[in-house]
Chains A and B, each alone.
Chain A
Amino acid sequence: MSHTRRSRWLATAAALIAMSSLAACGGDDSGSDSEEDVTLRVNLFGKFGYTDLYKQFEKDHPGVKIVETAEGDLGKYNTQLTQRIAAGSGAGDVVAIEEGQAVNFLASADKFVNLQDHGAKDLEDQYLPWKFAGATTADGATTIGLGTDVGGLAMCYRRDLFEKAGLPTDREAVAALWPTWDEFIATGEKFQDGLKGSDAKFIDSATNTYNSILMQSADHTYFDKDEELVIETNPAVKAAWDKALEMDDKGISAELKSFSPEWNAGFKNGDFATIACPAWMTGYIKDQAGEENAGKWDIATIPGGGGNWGGSWLAVPADSENQDLAIELVKFLSNADGQLAAFNAVGNLPSNPNLYEDPALQEATNPYFSDAPVGQLFVAGAANLEPVFLGAKNQPVRDAVENAMRSVENGQRSSADAWDVAVADAQKVAG
């Protein structure tokens, strides 16, 4: 064998060895140093107000570190979570499930830890009955999540803009302006008339108001409890659609798309005077409007009585490698103290009815919103909140309806045409 041949052989062998050792490297970096050093990954959307609770949990469990990722955009969060749960990896140790997604994930309950195997049944009376049931399968055998907050609606408004328009600013007087949505619209027109020389509008957008009206007017929206699409036969949907677009028609809507940069800037610039305000929205407003607008906002009751919009559960994906700790963390975050801490941090309304009489909640005020008695405002209707059944395909149908409604606001379609499009799109995505 000549030298060149030998060296070629060597090169081949070396290449093979290099490849196989590379492959070996790839599979062997997952072992942790000790059992004590554990990182719990918590995957949320928006604001849950858990920073201090994490610190306490970490103090009680030396060696445990909690890392939270919070996605701002709910649609994006739901997409990512569904993707990761479907893939069976990467979802994290604790995840938040939003109300619209619960039905969806309950259909794949095996992808989550059954919390009933870890004493969830003993905690049942800690939650509003429908809140506990909302994350439990129909046969009652599997519970995939424990409740955090519930919706509860109010109306946030800008005192300074109301004053400019010659409307009362005191929250009781403001609430008296609008017992019904029709009176709300009439107030909006008065606001617009009184506000000469300013670009501000009365409401942020038709879609947001639409969702509030819809969520307070029926126990189901686009789907009935058999998961049949009822967008055309449920009168609440069309009524809410018409009422919201009437507001746009009367010129009282700023026509800003939810969660867009313009909408966010609108909080700061005072582009709109009111926004339908589930409890969790107060934290968002404070964040977007910023410290310079502290005291300009206030909260009154919402037209048409209470309503339920939003709320979440915390769940442990089956692929979590630290299930026991994760379950403990879920219980810790969702127990009464945890819910109260979250309420104090960002205003999320507890789903634990035992707290509703608690002075800590009853007497709570929010300095950012001119010391509005947020505890009383949101708790008032909370005990009577009814769950709204949404169905597995709620999100795509809601997207279709919102898009159609926005095309009316943008002047691209008439209301009648857009409604037809919304119904056709809904039928399409409902399959």
Chain B
Amino acid sequence: MHLRDRLARIDIHGAPYLFIAPFFLLFGIFGLFPLGYTLWVSLHDWTLLGGNEGWVGFGNYTELFNDGYFWNSLLNTFAIFLIATIPQMIAALALAQVLNASLRAITVWRVGVIIPTATSVAAVGIIFTMAFSRDFGIVNWMIGLVGIEPIAWNQERLPSWIAIATMVDWRWTGYNALILLAALQAVPKDLYESARLDGASAARQFWSITIPMLRPTLMFVVTVSTIGGIQLFTEPLLFNPGANAITGGDIRQFQTSAMYVVEQAFTGQRFGYAATIAWVLFAVIVLVSLVNSLLVRRIRSAD
């Protein structure tokens, strides 16, 4: 074969790989390598300043499974995740429907829903913490109007979960609504037209056209929310201002697993153990994402 032809062959077969290579290169450096390294660290007794202090095999993992504070953090994480995500998905879907209708100044409204996402999470944390404070908070004032006793939002378990879920929802509902809106606009209008001709009600159209057509987008939105929910860190941290913020309350009532990782790594200086928690958390995210995609897949397809 002529050299030029050989080069041309490499060109045709090689170029696509070359073009996608940067992603995999970056993924390898910033995704795969840390993952592997974290696994390596988790099999050692590893202190933050002292570094590697010896192989312990699965010792850290055994300890983790008997660590009540870890399970407590996982419970908190999932409880906040569920309390936040379910209403958030419903609200986002409803919001997307409204934004898809012909309103006056529609762009203003659409931009409006993204503003909370653009706000600094620190500002959100501080404002919401003030709103939920026991003595001067606006939330307790409002529920006081209907005769409910003030609630110590950041001292009791369920109230603290609800308060943190509110922060999460406030920030991310609009973001998810915009993604769903994009998907809604891609649904062919003639589908609705024929449905109307067939005499389908609005509800029927929603369940039989909108939801199935949105399935891939819903899957994306749910998966991203899941990962975000399991990694929840800043909002609960800011909900406990002052000393010992990382423990998420005096009795760890709203400490998430991500906070427990940081507590072990930096306050406790146990890097190996923190790496173990991080790895178990990674496994949990994979597992939950699988369950999610199975659930969403059950939504009837458009075909």
Contact = CB atoms under 8 A, between A and B. Distances in A.
B191 interface: no
A79 B251 contact: no
Given A1-B8, A12-B11, A107-B49, A257 B243 contact: yes
Among A8, A79, A263, the one with the most B-chain Cβ atoms within 10 Å of its Cβ is A79
Given A8-B11, A395-B267, A406 B250 contact: yes
B71 to A, nearest CB: 14
A399 to B, nearest CB: 5
A108 B242 contact: no
A111 interface: yes
Interface string A102-124: 00110110010000000000000
Given A79-B267, A403-B251, A431-B270, A9 B242 contact: no
Nearest to A430: B268
Nearest to A2: B8
Nearest to A425: B69
Given A12-B18, A111-B49, A396-B267, A413 B251 contact: yes
Contact of A82 (B130, B243, B266): B266
A410 B15 contact: no
Interface string B113-157: 000000000000000011001010000000000000000100100
Contacts of A198: none
Given A75-B244, A86-B48, A104-B49, A412 B251 contact: yes
Contact of B266 (A12, A73, A83, A257): A83
Contacts of A207: 243
B4 interface: yes
A262 interface: yes
B19 interface: yes
B269 interface: yes
Given A75-B245, A107-B49, A403 B250 contact: yes
Given A76-B245, A108-B49, 6 more contacts: A75-B245, A75-B267, A107-B50, A258-B242, A260-B241, A407-B251
Interface of A: 1, 5, 8-9, 12, 15-16, 19, 73, 75-76, 79, 82-83, 85-86, 104-105, 107-108, 111, 207, 257-263, 392-393, 395-396, 399, 402-404, 406-407, 410, 412-413, 429, 431
18 contacts: A12-B19, A15-B19, A75-B243, A75-B246, A76-B245, A79-B262, A82-B266, A82-B269, A108-B49, A257-B243, A260-B241, A261-B133, A396-B267, A403-B251, A407-B250, A407-B251, A413-B251, A431-B270
